[in-house]
Amino acid sequence: MTAVYAIAPEVCLRKQAPLRHFQQLQGPRRRELFLVEPEPIRGHDDRELLATALGATLYVPATRPDLAATIRRRAARGVCSMVIDLEDAVADHQVEAAKQHAVDTLDLLARSEAANPMLFIRVRDAASVGELVAALGPGAEVLTGFVFPKFDAVSGPAYLAALDEANHALGRPVYAMPVLESSNLVHRQSRDEQLSRIAELLAGHREQVLAVRIGATDMCSTFGIRRDRDLTIYDVRVVADVIADIVNYLGRVDGTGFIITGPVWEYFADHERMFRPQLRSAPFEESDAVKFRQYLVSRDLDGLLREITLDRANGIQGKTVIHPSHVAVVHALSVVTHEEYADALDIMAADVGGVAASEYRNKMNEMRPHRSWAGQTLVRARAFGVANKGVSFVDLLTAMIAE
């Protein structure tokens, strides 16, 4: 690999600050918003917390000349997971130079005292994994893992074998995030067989798989579809069916499943709208943020908000993002509300079955059926914190965007 991008040398490896969501919010404002603050995210060992804390995973091309500065800047603004992309974002003739630039960037980031986000490299093929690991110097310490595109029953074994070798070479966990997007997975005739074989493959590497990602753009491509910004991915029925099956096979909470992250939201600019905005006015009127609602609508973030809500309703956490403006939206909706927290604590405190009214007196908590939800909610509370009573996602979002 031959470098074509200049990166200033550093002389020593420094102890880095821990990663924490919402670190850009400080002082009294932070205390006003949070009943329970997010926990620091340290090391590579707590896989469940790391997977939940991915939040908005921002992709950045490996060819970006100011890559290290961009990662530091995004981290300071609240991004906690990033993917250095060597696949779709890089032209074929730039791949080798981009690999070297990714290695040099990780080595440079490892010498900084600032907290780095969880960093992944999206490779083009399994052979690139060993090549990159062998080339890394101190940057090996800040590499969280690899993203494996077009992961299926055919490509999966080679990717996972390369991951085993990387773990052995580095002497610590390096995680995989397979992306499910191949046409043989999308096609109805082959989908069940593919998902069965993928589930078997991933089960054999359970401790090394951080999360399963959904590549909805490639799925849409199978049918020549590009969804409109007025629609969510769940309005595209052929893709929504695939997502449902992925969750069915790989998202179970009986110990056989994995955290599944939501597909990318592609839009971030003004446009002429065909349909009415998907964002109700009432929450913003209550928070005196009507102008802020107009800002969200003008940048298509109302569609993103709705899709995130549907992701959560369908058993999906976190989201792939391609624009920094999406990060705050994903994270604001990831904070556990005071009501959710109260319900989760009540449910987990009960060691017998039964039904009881919620502390908010607006629903029934069933102790056994809701226990899995409660456990996941408390892990999310560790990663993203718990909002104070009366604090809504509008309050969190306005605070983050104001920073």
Tens-digit pLDDT string for the chain (403 aa): 654 444 444 444 556 778 999 999 988 999 999 999 999 988 677 899 999 999 999 999 999 999 999 999 999 999 999 999 999 899 999 999 999 999 999 999 999 888 899 999 999 999 999 999 999 999 999 999 999 999 999 999 999 999 999 999 999 999 999 999 999 999 999 999 999 999 999 999 999 999 999 999 999 999 999 988 889 999 999 999 999 999 999 999 999 999 999 999 988 765 544 444 555 555 555 554 545 555 554 456 778 888 999 999 999 999 999 999 899 999 999 999 999 999 999 999 987 778 888 888 889 899 999 999 999 999 999 999 999 999 998 889 888 877 6
Residue-level pLDDT at 156? 98
* pLDDT for position 267: 84
pLDDT at residue 11, as a whole number: 40
- Residue 304 corresponds to which tokens in the numbers above? 């993103």
- Cα angle 286, 287, 293 (rounded to 5 degrees) comes to 100
CATH for 46-332 is: 3.20.20.60
pLDDT at 290: 47
d(CA 197, CA 303): 34
CA atoms within 13 A on the CB side of 313: 8
User: Any bridge partners for residue 143, and if so which?
Assistant: 119
User: pTM for the whole thing?
Assistant: 0.90
Q: What is the pLDDT of residue 9?
A: 45
Residue 309: predicted pLDDT: 94
Give, rounded to a whole angstrom, the gap between the first and last alpha carbons of the chain: 39
Secondary structure of the chain in HEC code, one letter for each residue: CCCCCCCCCCCCCCCCCCECCCCCCCHHHHHHHEEECCCCECCCCCHHHHHHHCCEEEEEECCCCCHHHHHHHHHHCCCCEEEEECCCCCCHHHHHHHHHHHHHHHHHHCCCCCCCCEEEEECCCCHHHHHHHHHCCHHHHHEEEEEECCCCCCCHHHHHHHHHHHHHHHCCCCEEEEEECCHHHHCHHHHHHHHHHHHHHHHCCHHHECCEEECHHHHHHHCCCCCCCCCCHHHCHHHHHHHHHHHHHHCCCCCCCCCEEECCCCCCCCCCCCCCCCCCCHHHHHCCCHHHHHHHHHCCHHHHHHHHHHHHHCCCCCEEECCCHHHHHHHHCCCECHHHHHHHHHHHHCCCCCEEECCCCCCEEECCCCHHHHHHHHHHHHHHCEECCCCCHHHHHHHHHHC
Contacts for 1 with CB less than 8 Å, ≥ 6 apart: 96, 97, 99, 100, 103, 131, 135
pLDDT of residue 229: 82
The confidence score (pLDDT) of residue 301 equals 76
> What per-residue confidence (pLDDT) applies to 358?
84
Residue 379, pLDDT score: 97
Q: Alpha-carbon distance 123 to 102, whole Å?
A: 11
Q: What is the pLDDT of residue 289?
A: 53
> What are residue 148's DSSP bridge partners?
178
- Give the C-alpha separation, 260 to 3, whole Å: 35
Sheet holding 118-122, edge to edge: 260-261, 212-214, 175-180, 143-148, 118-122, 81-85, 56-61, 319-321
Reference 79, options 23, 30, 147, 14; nearest CA is 23
At 147, list the tokens: 């993203």
How many other β-carbons are positioned within 10 Å of the β-carbon of residue 319? 28
Return residue ranges of the chain for CATH 3.20.20.60. Answer: 46-332
